[in-house]
Structure formats: C-alpha cells, structure tokens
Amino acid sequence: MIFLRYESPKEYIRLYPVTTIILLINIALYVAMWVVGSPYDKDTLIRFGAHVNVAPFHTELWRYIAAQFLHIGFEHLLFNSFSLFVFAAPLERLLGKLRYIGLYLGSGIAGGLLSQLLSKGIVVSAGASGGIYGVFAAFAYLSWLRKDLFDQATRKTVITILIIGFVYSFMPQVNLFAHLGGFIGGFLILHIMLYMRHR
C-alpha cells in the first residue's frame, strides 16, 4: 500500500524532495507570520499573500501561488501537512518532479480561481487544500484508468480519502470552492499530461 510511510527522514527527503520543500516552506511561513503578527489575523495573512476576493487584491496574480503556502492556524497547517506527507509524496514518485509540481501548483491555482469567482462577500482564504485536492483527484484518475498501478488496499484508501474529503469540504470555515476547483484542476491537468505523454 503506497500510502504507508515507512521511510526514515533521510530517505524521505531523498525520495520526495519536492514534497519536502513544500512542507518546509509551509512551516517557515507559518512561523514567520507569528513573528510579525498572527496566522489568524487577516492583515497578516493578506500581507503574506492570502487570497482576497475584492479590489485591489483580487487582481494580484502572485497571490495564486503564495496563498498555497499559507495556513490559518496550527490545525490547518497540521491537517494539510499530514495530507502532503502521506498522500502527496507517492504521487511525486509516480509523476516525476516536474509533472508533480505542475499538477500541485496548477490545482492550487484552479482552486483559488474558483474560490475567487464563486465566494460571496469578502473572503480571505489561504492553504494547500487546492493542491492537495488536486493530488486526490490524480489518484482517483489513476485508480479509475490505471488499475494496474495500485493494489486493492491502495484503491480502497483512495475511495476512503475521497469520501472523507468530500464530507470535510462542507464543514464550517472550510473553502468548498477551493477544494472543488483543486479537484477539477488536478483531474484535468493529469489528463492533459498523460495525453501529451501519449502523443
């Protein structure tokens, strides 16, 4: 089962360097927000690059990348870091570093775009959830079209995380549109990648 993490820290860094870098950036920015303010404070989040769906912030394109590495509180950081550590790492090995980072960031951008378009009122949002749901979508895609890649335990785990992720997306204070956009983005990006590779 590919989601069991049995590597030592040294092995994990060697096998999953991109995921390791993403995790370290997330943690570093979380600490930096505490140094200058608070990750719960909207002004601090906006200063570091969180999405804001009103002028003048909604046209600042750099936020579509920066917001993916920010987290609103320790629980938010912990949940997303766990998902990256366990579930995203094997996708890095399956796709390769460049395709993986393209899918991850592209899914995050798609989540940010959908959130900006559909959120009502003034919404400040941040987090790795768009990229993570893109990862979930990639595993759903591969489990559906490439059943030879995974054993039965892995396929069952994919179904379980999709169900849990779907239910969690409707919890209060959770950005449903970012999750949905990330999932759709991840599915489409992987489809395009595999099509181009086949060509």
Which position among 115, 119, 129, 143 bears the catalytic label?
129
Which position among 51, 71, 76, 179 bears the catalytic label?
179
Residue ranges in the chain assigned as alpha helix (H): 9-15, 17-36, 42-48, 63-66, 74-83, 89-95, 97-118, 129-145, 152-168, 176-198
Query: DSSP character for 52?
Result: E
179 is catalytic: yes
CA distances to 55, 156, 157 from 151, in Å: 48, 9, 10
38 is catalytic: no
Phi, psi of 42 (to 5 degrees): -60, -40
Other beta carbons within 10 angstroms of residue 170's beta carbon come to: 9
Would you say the C-alpha torsion 66, 69, 74, 79 has a positive or negative sign?
Answer: positive
Q: Which two tokens stand for residue 125?
A: 């949002």
Picking from 102, 117, 106, the residue whose alpha carbon sits closest to that of residue 197 is 102
Cis peptide bond prior to 56, omega within 30° of 0: yes
Active site residues: 129, 179
